[in-house]
Amino acid sequence: MFRFDGIRHEYVSIATGEVYPHITGMLKDAGLVDDKWYTEESRERGSCVHRLTADYDLGSFEREDLAQIDSLYKGWLSAHVDAMEKIKPTWTKVEEPLVHPVYRYGGRCDRVGEVYGAVAVLEIKTGGIEAAHAVQLALQALLVAEDVGLPAETIQRYALYLKRTGRWTLQRFPNRADFNQARRIIKLCCP
């Protein structure tokens, strides 16, 4: 049992008050993410695009409603809507916080469900491809494995890169070696 504090981005044990490590912090502690290059604009863009795309995926509005949306981030949202129509995924979880029952780390997968008929985790990105994304998704697959009833290595891992122009790219990360690195990070961050 845990509670998620979205403002502080903390996963807290209800029983003990312990704050569990989270995937973003674990990647940073392992030296895979250097947030000195992230700007306030990129944080704001990421937060807003995640909120808009989650609203779409949860059925708050349809493609026809896009014309009525007045947002600086409409291009990224349009890219997402186009991708969802072409990929045709089914989501079982959208931005739901989870804590691994054994390793005791938290994370909030952008999406968990089926992509091209296979169980998958998907990250939504508004920037470029980074090496850390593959390991981030491996940590997410480990996080949801028990929940979906499959070995983590069999869960498909994708990042959906959205552009302001309304274009998008879906990148699959099939390298199982990413899980070796993810497990090393767990040992480092989750004693």
Instruction: Map out the domains of the chain as residue ranges.
Output: 21-189
Q: Report pTM.
A: 0.95
The pLDDT assigned to 36 comes to 67
Q: Is the dihedral of CA 170, 174, 177, 180 positive or negative?
A: positive
Backbone angles phi, psi at 99, to 5 degrees: -125, 135
**Tokens 């845990």, located at residue:** 2
Instruction: Write down the pLDDT at residue 99.
Output: 97
The tens place of each residue's pLDDT in the chain, 191 residues long, gives: 999 998 888 999 999 999 999 999 999 999 998 776 678 888 899 999 999 999 999 999 999 999 999 999 999 999 999 999 999 999 999 999 999 999 999 999 999 999 999 999 999 999 888 999 999 999 999 999 999 999 999 999 999 999 999 999 999 999 999 999 999 999 999 97
Q: How far apart are CA 143 and CA 125, in angstroms?
A: 19
Element of type H or E holding 186: helix 177-189
Tokens of 59: 């059925």
Copy the structure tokens of residue 126.
């508004």
Q: What is the pLDDT of residue 37?
A: 61
